[in-house]
Amino acid sequence: MTVKIVTDSTADLPDELVKELGITVVPIYVRFGEEVLRDRVDISEDEFYHRLTEGSVHPNTTQPGPQDFVDVYQKLVQGADGIVSIHISAKLSGTCNSALMAKDMMGKKCPIEVVDAETLSMALGLVVIAAARAAKAGKSMDEVVAVAKQAMPKIHLLALLDTLKYLLQGGRIGKAKALLGSILNVKPMLTLKDGEVVPAGQARNRAKGIDRLFDFVQGMANIQELTVVHSTTPDEAQALAERLGSVFDKGKIIISRLGPSLGTHIGPAALIVAVREA
């Protein structure tokens, strides 16, 4: 049984894991005015954050179209008994809808299951990793889908943002609007609930926010996977991972980078932890 795993670039999966587990990533589109670029294909993270912070044009994002998914599915059909396509929360993006339309367009060429992971960044990445490991172990398509869906409620995310400015500019602030009246220097913290971004309080300063991330992970029971995600502060992410070595095997902590698709809305100097419990 050969089951192929597809996700989108909001999963923020490190390249080495994508290659190791045979995952196919469909890029989100990032637009700077009339210029349309594919996340991590036509624009790197470094170039993106430079343009985000120094440029005069604020970017926005667009989900892949159904044809983007059809092109990917058609390539994978040749060696696949089934395809499991796992994506960012449908409440945050139309990506799942594009994948579902592509599934219909494919007809009966190959069984395809589209999974709304109801989350984003490496919380989505952890769902994808669980499914990809099951697929690599030779599990059936139904078993792979079950593994993904069983992982979802066991995955938790907490994000420390430097500012809400980018969420506000991108029109994606949603329920996090509740934090807008906060004192200027307070650092907003966000999580996800039922597939939506919601406030998780605020920290008086960045150091206190990082303490909150640490305490969040420390409070988890029986951690199976742990990730630290940063947008522009790799040293800070590494330092947090080192600190978290007292809670979880440091050698197994995945450090990844927030890509252009989510960086558009979350901005520079963001730190995220995502945990999968047993």
Same domain, 159 and 147: no
pTM: 0.94
pLDDT, position 184: 56
Of 152, 174, 207, the last residue of a domain is: 152
pLDDT, position 164: 84
pLDDT, position 79: 85
Same domain, 174 and 222: yes
- Domain containing residue 42: 3-152
What stretches in the chain show pLDDT beneath 50? 173, 175-176, 178, 181-183
Total domains present in the chain: 2
Q: List, for residues 139-195, the tens digit of each pLDDT value.
A: 999 999 999 999 999 999 999 999 888 887 755 545 445 455 444 568 999 999 999
pLDDT, position 169: 75
Same domain, 147 and 161: no
3-state SS, one letter per residue, for the chain: CCEEEEEEHHHCCCHHHHHHHCEEEECCEEEECCEEEEECCCECHHHHHHHHHHCCCCCEEECCCHHHHHHHHHHHHCCCCEEEEEECCCCCCCHHHHHHHHHHHHCCCCCEEEEECCCCHHHHHHHHHHHHHHHHCCCCHHHHHHHHHHHHHHEEEEEECCCCHHHHHCCCCHHHHHHCCCCCCCEEEEEEECCEEEEEEEECCHHHHHHHHHHHHHCCCCEEEEEEEECCCHHHHHHHHHHHCCCCCHHHCEEEECCHHHHHHHCCCCEEEEEEEC
Of 113, 132, 152, the last residue of a domain is: 152
pLDDT, position 167: 80
pLDDT, position 185: 64
Q: List, for residues 84-105, the tens digit of each pLDDT value.
A: 999 999 999 999 999 999 999 9
pLDDT, position 181: 47
pLDDT, position 166: 87
